Every structure is written in C-alpha cells, then in structure tokens.
Amino acid sequence: MPPKQQTQFRSEALEGELKKLHGLVAGVKAAVIVNMDGLLVAAYPPEDEEDPYANPAGGPQVAAMSATLFGLAEKTFGRLKQGTLERLLMEAEEGTMVIYPAGRAAVVVLVSKDAHMGHVLYATKQAAIEVTRILGG
C-alpha cells in the first residue's frame, strides 16, 4: 500500500474516533488530536473555512496552546515527583477542556459546562487509547 493511502486511512481513522466521541457524549462541542509539537493532527467537526467557529478548538493556535499546556503540566508533575500525567482538566465559565495523552499525541475535548463529566472522562480516555493504537504506540 503506498504511504499516501496509509496516511489517508490513518487520518480518516483518527477523525472517525473524534466523530464517535462527539456522538457518544452529550455536550461535546469539539474534539481534536494534537501532536506534542503542537500541530493539529485531526479535528471534529472538521475545519470549515466558511465557518471558523464550527470547531472552536480546531485552529492551529489552539492545537499549539493545548500541547504547550499539556507539556507544562507533565513537567510540573514530574518536578513534583507525582508520576505520569493522566489527564489535564480545565474549567471555565462557559465550558471545560479535557486533555488526555495518546502516545505521541493528545486528545483535546471541549465540552459544555452542563456535560456529564463522568461520561466525558470515560469516553475521552477510551478515545485516547484508540488514538494511541492508531498512531502505533
């Protein structure tokens, strides 16, 4: 199989995981996968040039900031000798952002304030496990 087709299949599988997460959990506004260099790997809903607010977390700046936040949290917990970071959860007035590690990447989910966090955390963790598998570790 040529590398282009394999890469295309991988990106479709990653977007499919985000779409599944979006459908399973009420209140999910957006979901993205970012690599640890801050590059956007996949987004759902996909980027829409005509409606940049369709996925508020889907921009390259948000991907870079999410990776930076996650990296800082990892370093902080490492310095504090608290072990490996399991997830990063940030709450704001209008919503919550959850970031789970997924191998060489991270799954970032933006949810509404009224979302059931137990469902969000469970489904996002499962998505991160699958993303890790798709990315090969």
**Where along the chain do its domains lie?**
3-135
CA atoms of 52 and 39, how far apart (whole Å): 18
Nearest CA among 44, 27, 40, 33 for reference residue 95: 27
103, two tokens: 């191998």
pLDDT for 1: 46
pTM of the model: 0.85
pLDDT of residue 58: 63
**Mind listing the pLDDT tens digit of every residue in the chain (137 residues)?**
455 555 558 889 999 999 999 999 999 998 999 998 989 999 887 665 566 555 666 677 788 888 999 999 999 999 999 999 999 999 999 999 999 999 999 999 999 999 999 999 999 999 999 999 999 86
Q: What is the reported pLDDT for 63?
A: 85
What is the model's pLDDT at position 81? 94
From the candidate CATH numbers 3.30.390.10, 3.30.450.30, 3.30.70.141, 3.40.50.300, the one assigned to the domain spanning 3-135 = 3.30.450.30
